[in-house]
Structures are given as structure tokens and as C-alpha cells.
Structure 1
């Protein structure tokens, strides 16, 4: 099992749980031992333990990742023109990604329609009145940051973490000392995330067994298939249509050259499913294959691995619509705006390691009042999509880096247009 890797083990857990759920489904009636000991017993305990563990990490992960990232990239020299361009472009592409995802999922595909699950723990759901957009903006600033953390109000936590990180960067020596502490805490939280992902196959098994054990018919499978195809299609569209189009419009560079030179890097990112682990390869590709000067690339590529999570934003948008539809929970226009704002800002604190996107999804679902238990429905297939999301994310990092390099006069167009440039480096990375 260990040799399979995390993806293989989660896939096995998903399939095995689904098969067992279907097998147990005819015997799952009220009062039966299957219902008491398995569906609402063992599977419920293991599954809810896994979901609760995801929720446990949301607040510390977002806060410490954001503070560390903002502090590292927000010193006085980095808060000028280059930092403004990079952060603005990354957030802009993320907002485009989730807006497209919500539009396609809610208006065209509607992957969760006609499934009709009941909200976990209740027989019906009465949606609370959605706040106005003005209220959403006003409430972004926390009156009490500790209270915001205790209640899990993620927009307020994100705003406070950004301000705290900037203040640390501007504080000089005290900020540097505190940053070293935050770096250590952030590393420990990342270890917690990885520990949790090691038990993910068992959590997925229990969640899928319970879900399919409670269902009759193939409506959910059809919905999951539509969800999977929708997310995959939007990821490919964003990576191979949106990014090249933006590159062509903003930098007037040949988008086909860009896609061709990024191919090896995309395969590498797909195979390891981690934006952070791909940083060295992305840096070499951007500098030696695309011709971006190190003064730009060394800033924008690590920044992109920290805040550019377009692929994750696409998943969150489609998953939010899917979960709302399968539980029959209507979302208002302001809810969609909340999802766009939350997912865009949360991308700043999404670490580039496998599995963190699910924790961010739990945050987004909480923000609009959707049941976090809905993650159980997509977590199995989500791991399969995670590799594609990583390839999309690093493509966005390289695109933004190229655009900024061109605007700053730090792009060697001779290298960019040379199909042989940096091939020796690329081959050494792939060996």
C-alpha cells in the first residue's frame, strides 16, 4: 500500500468504500445491525473524525500561511511596482477562474440537480437570509480577531492576517524575530496536514461507504460524473485557453511557444501534485526556457506558489454549486459573491501541497452555510483532479511571471522565441 502512493491509496479507498456501500445498501434499514453498527456506527465515526480533522486545521493553516507569505513578500522593496503587479495579476486570474467555474456549474451543467439528498443531521434546511453585499464588505474587517478565529469567520481572519503580515515586514528586527517563530509554526502545521492526508484513504473509505450505503439508484453517480467532467474541463480550459489568451493580450507574446515550453514542467507538476515542490523546476524553466530575468522570476514564482491557486478556486466553485444542488440549498447572488471573494482571498493562504484544497473548500462551504459533510461526496474523485490543478497553478505562475517580465523590460525575447533555449536544463530536470 505504501508503494502505491497517496493517490493510489485514496483511489482504492474510494472504490472499495463505494462497492461496500452498494453491497450493504439493501440491508441498510432502520433498526438493522448494518445500519446501527456500520452505516451509523463505524463509518460515521471514522468519516466524521476525518471531516472534523479537516475543519480543525482551517484557521491555523490560513492564518500562519498568510502571515508568513505576506511578511516574506511585503518588505518595503517588494511592496512597490513589482509586488503590486504580481499580487494583482494572481488575484485577477483567480477571480476569473472561480467566476467561470460558478457560472458554468450553476447556469449550464448543474451537476447536482435531481439528486435530492437530505442535509446531514436534519430532514430539511431553511436557508438564512443572505447578507447584503455592503454588509459583506463591512464585515470583512474584524472587530475582535480572536473572536473571528473562534467563530471561523475566514474573511475576517484573512484580512487580519494580511495586515499582521505587512506590519511584521515593516517592523524591522522585531518582525524578523517573530517571523522565524511563525515560520516554525507554519512548518509544524504543514506536517499536521500531511499526517492527516496519510489517513485520508481510510476516511474516504468510510465516507463513501456511508454515502452509498444510504442511497438507492444511480443519481449520485451521475452527479459525481458530471462534477468530475466539469472540473476537469474547466481546468483544461483555464490552463490552455485563458492563460495563453491573457499572455497574448498583456505581453504580446506567442502563446503557443509558451505552452510548448511549459510542457515538461506541467508533466512534472502533474506527477508530484505540489506547487511548492515544483518551484525549483518552474524557476529554471521560466528563466532559461522563457527568458525572464532572475530579478523578476525569483520573486514572482515563489509568490505564485503561495497565492496563485486558480485550479483550487475552480474546484471550490464547482464543488460549492454541486453540494448546494444535491442538498437542495438555494444560493443567492450575494452567496456567489461571497464564494468569489472568499476563494480569491483564501488562495493567498492555500499552501502548495497536496490535499490543502479540501481544507480550503471546508472554509468556503462554512462561509455560505453549506454542510461541510458534502466534502465526502467529492473527496474520492478530488484527489484525481488535484494533479491537474497543480499543473494549472504552475502554468499560471509562469504566465504571470512572463507578463511582468515583459512589462518591466526583464524578458529576453530572443530566448523566449528560441525553441532550443534551455533544453539542456529541461532534460536534466526530467532525468
Structure 2
């Protein structure tokens, strides 16, 4: 009796409500709204016993900080394994040196455009002349940027680029914090990858292990990304509790100038560049938006790096071999928000506040520092460090940094979102110019349900195209 073939079972179509609830964008948006609401509620509850945070505020703080800690935990192993694996496969990528050069060139081009916008807004809006000097206090910065930081940052202090800092509280209790220098991690991974290339077949067992380790890390990373809405709720709720909006006060013009500059870069400059290279603006934003949202609420390019790299590869179609170099490197040196818009406007603000007239040479120096200065502060990169580097280069008072600390967390959300968008933009542009961009993947329809049945695979990312097979590296 001939065997009969049973038809494959068909999945029942999911309802519109289930698709909406499963959408990563909807989940993040709902977390944003709920986070603000819970933050406002926590502020209304007031402080707890003995001036301690009330339980709701403490819960939001714990959720947010724990999520950022989880993301940062994945950064070092991800960079190590991804860069080693990608360098070992460079023979599959033509013109690797040219790709690196093009990446640096476009880092500089976009930074030059961003700092030009910052200088224009700072001189046109005059935010430093619109403040009540009696309400602001100057203060020396705790960390000053230096041009030597770039050279010292290139030399690894240990195998994993780990750093340890200690601080003493008012009670005399000393606490130690372990961090990492991303630039050093990149250098270490690059050296190990090149060594594996030179060894040839003798390094194949090590490379096989590295590839397997990378898959395991990506799997764990995907689990972390899936709970991003919960982290968003905690991060934004805690921001509302801790900062609110009353600190804007007399610095409203400064904050407004910063966000106007950030908006011009993100929604005007980047779309123009995308369109000029024959790519869809809508596809770019739909592809990169999950990382931009997470960057906004987490205020950490490093914490967002794993997701930024994944959307660059899987949503925007940049080859993994190239993205695993360009995105981590960009996370330390490509910051149009922190290293271009912000230091330009902030330096002009400080000059106006102290009544110092800037010369043409000083404006040129602002542009120079913004274009190349982020590399000088790599590994210790932060907007405050970048600002101190700019002020010291211009000869402006460093105590002007203290004027802006009250609103730094508020502007930091926008700065980080633009940083993340730029870190995905440049690899996309370079890949398109070099003819290695996967246009089919870039133009593919974004899935409405990122947590579909196959989304548990490490290759899947929030908002990734459905039913699209990516060629293996």
C-alpha cells in the first residue's frame, strides 16, 4: 500500500492584538509611557524613612541599573570573540584596509557636519547670555580629558583591558569599581586575530572554539535583549524620579539648543546621507530604531553596543566581518552627540557665561577637537571628559563644566541616541559604497512580531525582517 504524505500543518494566523503585543516597538513604547507614569508616582510618594528612597523608586533604580549591568557584561566577550572571528575571516572580505580607511573618513565627515551645526546654534541662540548667573555655580571637573589619553589607551594594562577605580564615601568606606577600556579590548582582539591568521591551520581549533563561543554569547545576548522593555521601564522611571524636569530652569535655552542640534543631525543630516547613497530613509530608521530607543533610555553607548551591532548586521545588511570591527570601534570614537554637538554648544555657552569673545581660530579649534578628539578620550570617553578637552584646548575656564552638571542626565539621553544612530549609519554607508551591503536584507519588510518562533535564534533581532535568510559569513 503506497505511503501517503501528510500535508504540513499550517499555523493559525495571529490576531492583530497578539501581533501588536508581540511587537518590540510597541513593548518599548509602552515601557516608556509606563516608566514615566511610575516615575511620577514615585516622586509623589516622596522619600522613605530616614530620607531613603521609597520602595517604588528603589525598585525602578534596581531594575534599570541591573539591566545596564547585564548589557555591559556582554560587551567584552562579544567584542573579543567577534573581532577575532572577523579578522580570521578577512580573506573573505576584499579591501579590508580600504574599508577601515573609509570608516574613519566617514566618521570625520559626519562629525564635521555635526560640529558645524553645534557652532551655528551656539552662536545664533546665545544660550550662555540667557541665564541668571546668580542661580548657577561653577565647579572643577573630576576628570579632565587629555590628548595623551589616546596613546595610553592603546596600550593594554591587562589581557581583558580591565580597570579598577576606588572611591571613599563621607563615612570613610572605600568602594572599588571594576570597568573596562573598550579601546584596549579592541586592540587585544585585533592582535589575537592577526596572530591566528599568521598561524594558519595550526590555529583552526582555536578559531573553531572562538566561533562557538561567539554563538553562545549571541544566544545569551538575545535573552538580554528580549527583556529590554523591562529595563526601559526601570531606567526611564528612575530618571524621572531622580531628575524630573525642574532642573531645566535657567538652562532651558542650553538644553533646547542641544536637542535642536541633535534633532537636526538625526532627522535631517542622516536622512540626507542615506538618500544620497540611494537607500531608503524609512528602512534605515525602522532598522536602527530598536538600538536608538535603548540608547536613549540607557544613556550608554557601551551598554547598547551589542544591540547596535546586531541591528547593523541583521536589519541594515552590513556584513558581519565588517560590522564586528566598525560598530565596536565606532562606540569609542564615533559620537556625534557627545563629541560634536554637545562640546561645541557647551564650550560656546561657557565662553558667553564668562564674557569671553571667541576668535575664528578658537571656533576652528572647536571643530578640530570634535573631529579627532573623541579618539583622544577613547576608553575614558564621556561628554564631560570631551568638554574638558575642548575647554582646555581653547583656554576657557574648566570650572565652567560645573555650570552644566545639573542638566547633564537630561541631555545625555538625546546625545546617546544620536551616538548610536551614527554608529550604525557609517558602516551602512561604507558598505553601500564598497558594494558589500546586502540590499535584499536592507529593503526587506521588517517583522511586526520580532519574538516569532524563529526569533529565539541568536541571529534574530527586534524588528528584523521575517523569512529572510542571511548568508553565513
Q: 1:5 to 1:307 in 2, by over 3 A?
A: farther
2:235 to 203, 208, 217: 203
Deviation at 1:232, TM superposition (A): 1.9
The answer on whether the counterparts of 2:35 and 2:232 sit within 8 Å (CA) in structure 1 is no
Displacement, 1:241? 4.0
Kindly indicate whether residue 174 of structure 2 is the aligned counterpart of residue 160 of structure 1. Answer: no
Whole-angstrom CA distance in 2 between matches of 1:39 and 1:13: 25
Give CA deviations for 1:59-97 in whole Å, capped at 9, x if unaligned: 644322222231222126438752112222223323433
Deviations 1:347-374 (A, max 9, x none): xxxxxxxxxxxxxxx9635866999997
Quick check: which one's helix share is greater?
Answer: 1
Q: Which residue of 258, 268, 274 maps to 1:227?
A: 258
Q: 1:238 aligns with which of 262, 266, 269?
A: 269
Is residue 2:335 matched to residue 1:313? yes
**3-state DSSP class of the match of 1:199?**
helix
Q: Alignment length, in residue pairs? A: 359
Instruction: Look up the SS of the partner of 2:284 in the other structure.
Output: helix
1:74 is paired with a residue of what secondary structure?
A: helix
Structure 1 residues 262 and 157: alpha-carbon distance in aligned structure 2, compared to 1, 3 A threshold? same
The equivalent of 2:205 in structure 1 is 173
Aligned-pair distance for 1:38? 11
Instruction: Show structure 1 runs of 5+ residues with no match.
Output: 25-32, 245-254, 287-296, 347-361, 412-420
Query: Within 1, Cα distance between the matches of 2:46 and 2:40?
Result: 15
Among 79, 87, 91, which residue is 2:100 paired with? Answer: 87
Structure 1 distance, partners of 2:234, 2:289, is 23
What do residues 140-160 of structure 1 show as CA deviations (whole Å, max 9, x unaligned)?
212334573445352333322
- 2:157 corresponds, among 143, 166, 185, to 143
Is the CA contact (8 Å cut-off) linking 2:331 and 2:423 kept in structure 1? yes
**Rg comparison, structure with higher value:** 2
TM-score (norm 2): 0.55
- Map Cα deviations across residues 207-242 of structure 1 (whole Å, 9 max, x no partner): 2133127x3664465554433332121123432445
User: Hey, what's the Cα distance between the residues in 1 that align with 2:211 and 2:87?
Assistant: 12
Q: 1:395 to 1:141 in 2, by over 3 A?
A: closer
* Distance verdict in 2 for CA 1:299–1:129, change over 3 Å: closer
Q: Which is worse superposed, 84-93 or 56-65?
A: 56-65
Between 1:233-242 and 1:106-115, the stretch displaced more is 106-115
8 Å contact from structure 1 (residues 35, 41) kept in 2: yes
Q: Which residue of 2 aligns with 1:34?
A: 46
Residues 32-431 of structure 1 aligned to structure 2 (within 5 Å): 34-36=46-48, 41-42=53-54, 45-46=58-59, 48-49=61-62, 52-53=65-66, 56-57=69-70, 60-75=73-88, 77-78=90-91, 82-102=95-115, 104-105=117-118, 108-109=121-122, 114=131, 125-127=139-141, 130=144, 132-134=146-148, 136-145=150-159, 148-151=162-165, 152-154=179-181, 155-168=183-196, 170=198, 171-192=203-224, 194-195=226-227, 197-212=229-244, 215=246, 218-219=249-250, 223-242=254-273, 255=276, 258-259=277-278, 261-263=279-281, 265-266=283-284, 268-269=286-287, 273=291, 276-277=310-311, 279=313, 282-283=316-317, 300=322, 313-317=335-339, 321=343, 340-341=374-375, 364-365=382-383, 376-378=409-411, 390=421, 396-405=426-435
> In the aligned structure 2, how far is the partner of 1:389 from the partner of 1:73?
21
Segments of structure 2 that go 5 or more residues without pairing to the other structure are: 1-19, 166-178, 292-306, 354-364, 389-400, 447-464, 468-473
CA RMSD of aligned residues (A): 5.4
Q: Is the Cα contact below 8 Å between 1:139 and 1:156 reproduced in 2?
A: yes
Say whether the 8 Å CA contact 1:168–1:175 is kept in structure 2: yes
